[in-house]
Amino acid sequence: MASQTIRVLVLFGGRSSEHEVSVLSASSVISALDSARYEAIPIAIERSGRWLDPAASASLLPHEAAGKCSLREVEISHQPGCSRGFDVVFPVLHGPYGEDGRLQGLLDMAGLPYVGSGVLGSACGMDKDVMKRLFNESEIPTLPHETVLQGEAEESVSRIERNAGYPAFVKPANLGSSVGIRRVENREALVGALGYAHEFDTKVIVEPGIEAREIECAVIGNQSPEASLPGEIVTHGGFYDYETKYVTDSAELIAPAKLETERVEAVRDLAVKAFRALDCSGLARVDFFITDDPRWPSIVVNEVNTMPGFTSISMFPRMWAVSGLPYERLIERLLALALERHADASSLRFDIA
């Protein structure tokens, strides 16, 4: 395959509140692919869950990305060996139905190579409650949290005030891009934030709010993952919400982060440890807090994102760029890791004879 054009099926959109972010990420990925080596075939998934053909999918992309797309006919089947017209899938999907293991299970059943974590890593990386439980099991420092299921908000308020206190952050357990998150400082705001977060997810987590530096670290690899140099997010007031990330681009990324050498290595080591604890593969972005608050460890892992944003302003590619791996080569590396992982999985035995 090395001497041939690799046909990349780029999946984007999806049944998620992060639908628009996915479109932006896919546009950046397609625009970065070297047309001499890769053929990008777009397949959009509507909010309804309907999959579009390449021509209809390309029409949803910005002009530059659409112009690089191949409109060849493809066949996608859940039956192994029955899909046609492409070599590897790049599922640039964020949030539920794309990043949470459901799509990965479909692709595994179909016997298709794809970029990113498998079913387990994707599911654990999406569910912040399960993720934090695994961190605790692996002795990875993380903030304590309270879990609130739908219908339990009223009875949970006193427990949250006692354990998390104020200020606190209320988050849907299974979303990213800061969708549905609110910072609260009193009971009235907490009740409202729980109701708002439950509009997006049946499970919500509440964490104590802390004064801290926001540090991120990117990881790529399969069996031998490696971490980038960390970066720091400076928001200049407020928290790193959806609008700051994707609309105003008002956050400042300092990369590499201005940290002591010992802390840089500690962050990179913890990033790889978190990656492995969730059984991730391919890629992830690991988010940290660094704090001087004596109530908490100085470095805590906030969360892991198994399919971080790939837009031109996204932090994951920026951190790899300052680590010596520019965007185009990063995409190529991820595709190679996908094919490598698929080859390893295909070599496993399915019989006992």
Q: What is the model's pLDDT at position 237?
A: 58
281 is catalytic: no
Distances in Å between the alpha carbon of 90 and those of 32, 40, 103, 204, 334?
13, 10, 11, 29, 9
Strands 6-13, 38-45: pairing is parallel
Of 118, 207, 231, 285, catalytic: 285
6-114: CATH, from 1.10.3720.10, 3.40.50.2000, 3.40.50.720, 3.40.50.20 = 3.40.50.20
Instruction: Map out the domains of the chain as residue ranges.
Output: 6-114, 125-141+211-331, 146-208
| pLDDT of the residue at 95 | 86
User: Quick check: 299 and 266 in contact, CB under 8 A?
Assistant: yes
pLDDT value at 311 more than 90: no
CATH of domain 146-208: 3.30.1490.20
DSSP 39-54: EEEEEEE-TTSPBPPH
Vertex 259, ends 255 and 262: CA angle to 5°?
130
Catalytic residue among 28, 70, 117, 177: 177
**136 tagged catalytic:** no
Is the confidence at residue 284, as pLDDT, over 90? yes
Which member of 38, 98, 303, 341 is catalytic? 303
3-state secondary structure of 124: helix
Q: Tell me: the pLDDT tens digits for 159-205?
A: 999 999 999 999 999 876 577 899 999 999 999 999 999 999 999 99
Contact 30, 68 (CB under 8 A): yes
Task: Give pTM, 2 decimals.
Answer: 0.91
Q: Among the CATH numbers 3.30.70.2500, 3.20.20.60, 3.40.1360.10, 3.30.470.20, which is that of 125-141+211-331?
A: 3.30.470.20
Is residue 303 part of the annotated active site? The answer reads yes
**Is it the case that residue 303 has pLDDT exceeding 50?**
yes
pLDDT of 314? 87
Would residue 221 show up in a list of annotated catalytic residues for this protein?
Answer: no
For residue 209, indicate whether it is catalytic: no
Percent of the chain with pLDDT over 90: 84
Which residue did the predictor score with more confidence, 312 or 8?
Answer: 8
- Each residue's pLDDT tens digit, 222-231: 999 999 999 9
Say whether 287 is catalytic. Answer: yes
Q: Taking residues 267-286, what's their average pLDDT?
A: 98
Q: Read off the pLDDT of residues 87-99 as tens digits, 9 standing for 90 and up.
A: 999 999 998 899 9
